Structure formats: structure tokens, C-alpha cells
Amino acid sequence: MSNQRISIIGGTGDQGQGLALRWAKMGYQVVIGSRDAERATKAAAEMRTLLKENGVESPLIEGMSNAAAADCGIVVLTVPFAAQIGTLKDIRDSLKPGALLIDVTVPLEPAVGGKPTRMLGVWAGSAAEQCAEMAPQGVRVISAFQNVGAAALADLSHEVDCDIIVCGDDKASRESVKPLVEAIPGCRYVDGGLLANSRIVESLTALLIGFNIRHKAHTGIRITGL
């Protein structure tokens, strides 16, 4: 799987960069997407330098515009909730039938100037379900990685202590995300069932942010008994 190409839309943000670093360290080819192609190229160069400092000889990271980056078999959407719809409109024509679109969006209140510990109501039910409504027919929408912190991902010297709950309406598509989860040391794949369950998973992010603020920590979640 490590020779697969992963496109991270909004990859210049903290969450996108953290995922890019982890996957590139394990040998995946990563494309960083941004509204500004020059910014994406610069971010990719900085990440290559960081990875080389961490012992990765030839990290495969490149940068380009979101629309160009979305022409890929695995597309990971890591933009803030306020930018989700606009970004999906921008990349819609680039998404391939059969592509796996992994939505990491969480509808937090900062999208409207509120607190990061509060959720916004979404007519579709969740950010992931809204993504599914916006995606072209034939694109497989999955939600994952909402509960893993950007700071934990970026710290390459430590494992990430977090289970990754993966939701989607097709079991085979959910399971196709498992290698991406297991490529991040310390992360464990947990099948979260239907995409509608993203409503619960997304809300956990606001709770974890509250923990982080109060305890000055980088918290994650673990599902026991599995």
C-alpha cells in the first residue's frame, strides 16, 4: 500500500500537515493541496526537509492546487468546516468515479466566530453526510481522523495514542482506510458503521478539545473491549 498516492485537500493546515508527515514517513506518495498552489509547494518543501531531519531519505511529498490534487484515487479533505462546501465545489470536477473521499471535517463553532468546544448543527446531520451530498455520484465518502489531534500527529518522535473511528455506508470502503490508519504508529482502526454515525464521532472532537484546554494535554480516544 505504501506506493499509493494520497491527496490531502487543505493540506497546508495543521491537521493536513500532520497526516501528510505521518504517511510520507511510512513511504506513501503524498500530494498537498491548497487554494494557493505556491503555498502548497512551499509547505511540501518544508515537510520534505523536516522528514529528512527525521531520517526519511527521499520523502515523496509535492504541492499543487486543490483542484489538481483532487485528481487522485484517495482524497482526504482536511479543511475547516466553513470552507468545506466551497472546497468541494472547487474540486468536484476533479474527483474520479470510484475515488475514496475521506472527510475529516468537524462542524465546530469557530466557523461562525464561536468556541472550539461547541458544535454547529448541520442540516445533513453531520459534516461527513454533507460531504456525501456534495460529492459526485460514484465517489465513495468515508469519515475518519476527526478525533486525532494535529499536535500529536506532527510530533514524529512519539506514537499517536488514539483509536480512529471510520464511518461509511459501504463496509469494503471503510476497510480500505484501515492501512492508512495502521500506517500511523499508535493508531488503531475501529469500524464505526454507517456514515450517519459520524454525527457522534464528530461531536467527540469538541469534547476532546475541551479536555486539551483544561488539562493542557493532547488527548485521544480508546474504545475498550475490542
- At 96-142, the pLDDT tens digits run 999 999 999 999 999 999 999 999 999 999 999 999 999 999 999 99
Q: By percentage, how much of the chain surpasses pLDDT 70? A: 99
pLDDT band for position 3 (cuts 50, 70, 90) = low
Confidence of residue 4 (pLDDT cuts 50, 70, 90): confident
* In a domain? residue 222: no
| Average pLDDT of span 48-58 | 93
Closest by Cα among 25, 29, 32, 31 to 10:
32
Q: Are 222 and 163 in contact (CB under 8 A)?
A: yes
Please indicate, yes or no, if residue 77 is contained in any of the structural domains.
yes
Q: Supply the DSSP string of 47-62, one letter for each residue.
A: HHHHHHHTT-SS--EE
Dump strand ranges (E) for 78-147: 100-103, 140-143
Residue 55 belongs to a domain = yes
pLDDT on residue 211: 96
In a domain, 221, yes or no: no
Residue 1 pLDDT > 70, yes or no? no
225 inside domain = no
Q: How far is CA 226 from CA 22, 86, 196, 220, in A?
A: 25, 38, 21, 17
Q: What is the largest CA-CA distance in the chain?
A: 47
Which residues constitute the domain of residue 141?
Answer: 5-215
On whether residue 223 sits in a domain, the answer given is: no
Domain count, the chain: 1
Minimal CA–CA distance to 201: which of 80, 119, 141, 112?
A: 119
**Position 138 in a domain:** yes
**What percentage of the chain exceeds 90 in pLDDT?**
97
Question: Mean pLDDT over all residues of the chain?
Answer: 95
β-pairing verdict for 140-143 and 100-103 = parallel
Does residue 47 belong to any structural domain of this protein?
A: yes
Which pTM value belongs to this model? 0.96
121: domain CATH number is: 3.40.50.720
Q: What is the pLDDT of residues 161-207, one digit of tens each?
A: 999 999 999 999 999 999 999 999 999 999 999 999 999 999 999 99
Assess contact for 9 and 43: CB atoms under 8 A.
no
Strand partners, 30: 6, 61
